[in-house]
Structure formats: C-alpha cells, structure tokens
C-alpha cells in the first residue's frame, strides 16, 4: 500500500471556516426584509447558522411567495445592507489560522479553491479581509451550482474544474451541511470547531461525520494534511 500523500487539492468553505461571518450575513438579510416591513422571528433566522446556501435560505423564508422577489433581488438587498454596515465601520472577522492554512498549502504546491454557499459578491468581500485571493485557483459561490450544501454539487464542480479525483480532495468545513456535502462528494473532510457554538447552544453544528475535527485551523502542518488523506 502506498504511503499517504498530500491532498491533490484543498477545497475551503468560507463562512464559519475562514471568516466568522454568519451574524453579519443574517443581519444583512434581517435589515433588508425589515425595510420591506417584515420582521423575522427566531425560528426563521435559525436557518442562517446551519451552513445553508442562498438557495435554501431563499426557499426557507418563502421570499418569492411573501415579497414577489427573485433570489438575486434578495442577495442584492442583503449585500447593500451589509455594505452600509461596512461603511459604518463593521469588520469581517478572520478566524485564527485561516490565512496560515492557505499560505501553507500554497507553499506545498497544493491548489486551493473556495466552495461557498455565499454569493460571489460576498466572497469577494471576504477575500478583501482574508488577503489570500492570489493563492486561490478560483472560487465558487451560490450562482455557480444548482443545489447548495448538503448536496455535493459545489465540491464536485470544483474537483472537475481542477481535474482532480474527488477522493484526492481535502475539504475544510464547519457546518453539518458542509460536512455532508464533502462526504457525499467522496472527499476527505476536516472540520474546524473555531466558530461552532457549544453543544446545546443555538446554531451548534454536529461535526461528528467529518474524518477529523480540530478546535481551529491554527497550527496545522503538512503532516496534518498528509494524515488527513490516509484511507483516501
């Protein structure tokens, strides 16, 4: 049996994995819908912290039925609300170890892509805070695949674009939906608990399906990436 090797590609989730952005995303949608005269209740806002893509949020909130808006209109409105928050001084928090992991993979020659449920405009916002854009091959957002996580579409599309077998890809995720997406794609999955609330708290993610769970991304080494591919 061949010894485990570095992954052939590193596929990174964004929200809750590289940046702690769920609260800001949720607030953008809340403020936009509030401007339309609708206040979301606690059950409706809970969907924002379960790793769902824009498509699922749009369907969950019944935006078309309630407001007659299409998905791009919801996205534009929420992004505009967040732009106002950024203009007022809000910052996109970068999670510890996120930049270091990207730099490590780049130094090892492992190609990287972001596969996110956020739309491309939001990804570009996050990349401005992360500063890792030059190390990425590309990024995929909600506009780039039909079905969001937990469906495997985004990760399979990234592997195909990189011309890498799914089993040779290492996914880094935080949400149960994202972990399920990577598993369904036939990839190895590393889960980070850095932004995961404690068990029993609102928004807690069950990460046990991942091949490995770490407290955060800081301190990961080439040996850790190699170990993650054992059994691939």
Indicate whether 129 pLDDT > 90. no
Task: Report CA dihedral (210, 214, 216, 218) to the nearest 10 degrees.
Answer: -120
Residue 31 CA to residue 24 CA, distance in Å, equals 10
Residue 18 CA to residue 180 CA, distance in Å, equals 18
pLDDT band at 147 (very low <50, low <70, confident <90, very high): very high
Which tens digit of pLDDT belongs to each residue from 40-71? 887 777 666 555 678 888 888 889 999 999 99
Kindly state the percentage of the chain with pLDDT values over 90.
Answer: 66
- Fold type of domain 9-20+92-228: Rossmann fold (3.40.50)
Domain ranges of the chain: 9-20+92-228, 22-87
11 forms bridges with which residues in the sheet? 113, 171
Supply the pTM of this predicted model.
0.80
DSSP H/E element including 191: strand 188-192
Taking CA 191 as the corner, what is the angle to CA 17 and CA 11, rounded to the nearest 5 degrees?
65
Residue 3 CA to residue 16 CA, distance in Å, equals 32
Q: What is the pLDDT of residue 50?
A: 55
Q: How many CA atoms lie within 13 A of 95 on its CB side?
A: 25
Given a contact cutoff of 8 angstroms between Cβ atoms, the answer to whether 130 and 19 are in contact is yes
Q: What is the pLDDT of residue 60?
A: 84
Indicate whether 1 pLDDT > 70. no
- Please report, for residues 52, 56, 104, 116, 194, the alpha-carbon distance to residue 147 in angstroms, rounded to integers and kept in the order given: 10, 9, 31, 12, 26
Given a contact cutoff of 8 angstroms between Cβ atoms, the answer to whether 182 and 149 are in contact is no
Which tens digit of pLDDT belongs to each residue from 94-110? 999 999 999 999 999 99
Q: What's the mean pLDDT in 169-179?
A: 96
């Amino acid at each position: 049996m061949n010894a485990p090797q570095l992954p052939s590609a590193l596929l990174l989730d964004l929200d809750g994995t590289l940046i702690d952005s769920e609260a800001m995303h949720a607030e953008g949608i809340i403020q936009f819908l509030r401007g339309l005269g609708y206040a979301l209740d606690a059950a409706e806002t809970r969907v924002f912290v379960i790793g769902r893509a824009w498509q699922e949020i749009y369907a969950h909130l019944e935006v078309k039925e309630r407001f007659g808006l299409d998905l791009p209109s919801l996205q534009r409105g929420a992004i505009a609300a967040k732009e106002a928050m950024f203009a007022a001084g809000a910052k996109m928090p970068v999670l510890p170890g996120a930049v270091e992991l990207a730099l490590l993979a780049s130094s090892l020659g492992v190609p990287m892509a972001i596969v996110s449920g956020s739309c491309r405009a939001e990804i570009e916002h996050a990349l401005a805070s992360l500063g890792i854009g030059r190390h990425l091959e590309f990024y995929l957002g909600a506009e780039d695949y039909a079905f969001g996580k937990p469906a495997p579409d985004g990760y399979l599309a990234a592997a195909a674009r990189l011309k890498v077998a799914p089993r040779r890809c290492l996914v880094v995720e935080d949400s149960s939906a994202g972990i399920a997406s990577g598993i369904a794609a036939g990839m190895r999955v590393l889960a980070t608990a850095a932004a995961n609330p404690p068990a029993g708290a609102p928004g807690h993610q069950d990460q046990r399906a991942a091949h490995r769970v770490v407290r955060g991304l800081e301190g990961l080494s080439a040996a850790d990436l190699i170990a993650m591919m054992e059994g691939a």
